[in-house]
Amino acid sequence: MARIAVLVGPEFEDSELTVPVARLTDAGHEVELLGVEAGRELIGKQRKTKVQVNAAVSDRRPEDYDALVIPGGNSPEHLRTDEGVVDFVRAFGSIGRPIAAICHGPQLLIEADLVRGRRMTSWPSVRTELRNAGAEVVDEEVVQDGAFITSRMPADLEAFSRGLLDRLEHREGRSIGQAVQSRPS
């Protein structure tokens, strides 16, 4: 099964962390929460979820993971100011493995200069940032473009999670389940 890195910082959107992590672990994948500081306890924006960061990005290599998940909330805004996190995301983008970002998650992709020429979606207030960074922005439940999987909001979590799981199944050589909109890289 796959090993998945989930980037998490202060005030992550609770459901955008818990739902994909649950779907991934239920499917047998290994999930590791990465952040700025190993062992740091973080509380979700809705104050419903408390998590502990498993490892600092500075102690991990992108090549050790099969996919990267970036939940939204205020977490991406906090994480985009950390050079180590941005470098990790940029390096992950260079190896071509799946990166799934929801809501405000694409802010980290913008900071890592990974969105130019890509078709993506996000929370409405991030769309201008995406456009200004060179992305083609659409308002759809889930969008796949090359290695990137993006969604808009918590209401899209099932489609977002399914898109990531389908991509992982395809990567592992199994048949793809329900199709989602996609464009080759």
Query: Which sequence positions are flagged as catalytic?
Result: 103
Phi and psi (nearest 5°) for 9? -135, -175
H or E segment and range at residue 151 = strand 148-151
Q: What would you report as the CA-atom Rg of the chain, rounded to the nearest whole angstrom?
A: 15
Distance (Å, whole) CA 92 – CA 88: 6
- C-alpha distances in angstroms, 28 versus 2, 55, 102, 153, 176? 8, 20, 22, 25, 16
Query: Is-contact 5 60, C-beta < 8 A?
Result: yes
Query: Is-contact 5 54, C-beta < 8 A?
Result: no
Q: Within the chain, where are the H helices?
A: 14-26, 75-79, 83-95, 106-111, 127-132, 157-171
Distance (Å, whole) CA 90 – CA 121: 19
Structure tokens at 10: 């202060």
